[in-house]
Amino acid sequence: MEQRKLGTQGLTVSAIGLGCMGMTSAYGSADEGQAIATIHRAFELGINFLDTAEVYGPYTNEQLVGRALRGHREGVVVATKFGFKFQNGVRGVDGSPENAKRVANESLMRLGIDVIDLYYQHRRDPDVPIEETIGAMKDLVEAGKVRYIGLSEVGSETLRRANAVHPISALQSEYSLWERGVENDVLPAVRELGIGFVPYSPLGRGFLTGSVDVATLSQNDFRKTNPRFSEENARANESLVAVVRGVAEQCGATPAQVALAWVLSRGDDVVPIPGTKRVRYVEENAGALDLKLTPEQVAQLDGLASKTAGQRYAPEMMKLVER
């Protein structure tokens, strides 16, 4: 599989990664056997970049990934994230140096590995200077517990301040045909600083595949809290799916492959991490690397974000996103 570089510190990963969040939380029922089979199939396809986090579950997703890694650690790049505080659920953010170091140690144990390949701050803590948080992450690199560090959903100013303390290898933020908010300021800063970009939810949390019926989402499905998945907004957003489906028919591909091919076309420093818990979908996603969109098709897809109905998160979660 094609390899891409994230940052300038030496981190190289498969051109598509695998988001593991939905294997244990957020998107309805979970099946561990199926999830581990999906991870192992990803390895067979050459996908070596796994994304998890302390908050997924919490804790259970890292534990599952750890079980899937047994006997498969060599050549696999494991990314995980810290940055929340818990007390009967998530209760805000915690970017303190103490939390950064404590979570790293706990994540290593849950994952059953000796070093975290890529360690992200999941959301910035406005009460802790970013220099202090990155300083602690730098200490983890120097201690051999972390290889590379990253940030998630931060703005260009934060990126520059963080990178001045220690080189940032990757920024993870939402980016897709229907979410382009990073393009104005964040992506230019990423390119200026030589930081890799890791888009999560490149399939619009599944909506852009045309396979999501919001009326049938289970009560514990995270998407029910997202304004774009309200009944009214979902009806409006079906027009976006129709365009993606039309391009897919032209290409002899699936809508998911078209949506991923568009993200992949944004630059060689872009590595999307579509999430799935099923073997057939990881196989389908891998096929996006063989799809080359024409300039006319790219132009047709480029305008979709301006037509998207609804915010991507509920107001409380939007407060944790920098632009």
Domain ranges in the chain? 3-204+262-290
**CA dihedral of residues 123, 128, 129, 130 (deg, nearest 10):** -30
**Residue 289 corresponds to which tokens in the numbers above?**
């690397």
What class, spelled out in words, does domain 3-204+262-290 have in CATH?
alpha beta
At 87 the pLDDT is 79
Residue 154 has pLDDT above 80, yes or no: yes
Share of the chain above pLDDT 90, in %: 91
pLDDT tens column, 55-90: 999 999 999 999 999 999 999 999 999 999 987 777
Angle at 225 between CA 223 and CA 228, to 5 degrees: 65
At 88 the pLDDT is 77
pLDDT band for position 165 (cuts 50, 70, 90): very high
pLDDT band for position 316 (cuts 50, 70, 90): confident
Q: Higher pLDDT residue, 320 or 3?
A: 3
Concerning whether 27 is annotated as a catalytic residue, the answer is: no
Residue 25 has pLDDT above 80, yes or no: no
Residue with tokens 């994952």: 111
Residue 26 has pLDDT above 80, yes or no: no
Over residues 169-188, the mean pLDDT reads 97
Q: Higher pLDDT residue, 189 or 218?
A: 189
Choose, from 56, 119, 120, 175, the residue flagged as catalytic. Answer: 56
**Residue 32 corresponds to which tokens in the numbers above?**
């561990």
Whole-Å CA distances, 141 to 121, 129, 150: 14, 19, 12
Residue 93 has pLDDT above 80, yes or no: yes
Residue 30 has pLDDT above 90, yes or no: no
Whole-Å CA distances, 222 to 138, 191, 219: 33, 32, 8
